[in-house]
Amino acid sequence: MKIPSKIAIKLRKSAEKAVKQGHPWVFEQSIEKGPAEDEAAGSLCILFDQRTNKPFAFGLWDPDEVIRIKIFYLGSRLQLNEEFWKSQLEKAYEKRQGLIQKGITGYRGIHGENDNFPGLVLDVYAKTGVLKIYSEVWKPYVDSLIPAIQEQYDLENIVIRFSRKIQQNNIFPYQEGDVVGSTLEDEKVSFEEYGVKFYAYTQSGHKTGFFLDQRPNRLWVQQNADGKSVLDVFSYVGGFGIHALKGNAKSLTSIDISTHAMDVALENIELNELDKSIWTPLAQDAFEALDQLIQQNKKFDIVIIDPPSFAKQASEVHNALKQYERLANIGKKLVAHQGYLILGSCSSRISLEDFEKAHQNARIKGAKNWQHLHTTLHDDDHPIGFPESNYLKTIFYQKYTE
pLDDT of residue 245: 98
Q: Which helix (H) or strand (E) holds 296?
A: none
pLDDT of residue 2: 86
Residue spans of alpha helices (H) in 183-252? 215-224, 239-246
pLDDT digits (tens), the chain, 402 positions: 789 999 999 999 999 999 999 999 999 999 999 997 889 999 999 999 999 999 999 999 999 999 999 999 999 999 999 999 999 999 999 999 999 999 999 999 999 999 999 999 999 999 999 999 999 999 999 999 999 999 999 999 999 999 999 999 999 999 999 999 999 999 999 999 999 999 999 999 999 999 999 999 999 999 999 999 999 999 999 999 999 999 999 999 999 999 999 999 999 999 999 999 999 999 999 999 999 999 999 999 999 999 999 988 889 999 999 999 999 999 999 999 999 999 999 999 999 999 999 999 999 988 889 999 999 999 999 999 999 999 999 999 999 875
Q: Are 265 and 235 in contact (CB under 8 A)?
A: yes
Say how far apart CA 306 and CA 265 lie, in whole Å: 16
User: For the chain, what's the residue count?
Assistant: 402
pLDDT of residue 402: 59
Characterize the bridge pairing of strands 128-133 and 157-162: parallel
Closest Cα to residue 209, out of 144, 295, 121?
121
Closest Cα to residue 135, out of 238, 211, 24?
24
Closest Cα to residue 215, out of 382, 343, 95?
382
pTM: 0.95
Residue 282 has phi, psi (to 5 degrees) of -120, 100
Characterize the bridge pairing of strands 6-11 and 31-33: antiparallel
Cα–Cα separations (whole angstroms), residue 323 to 88, 180, 284, 396: 40, 42, 18, 18
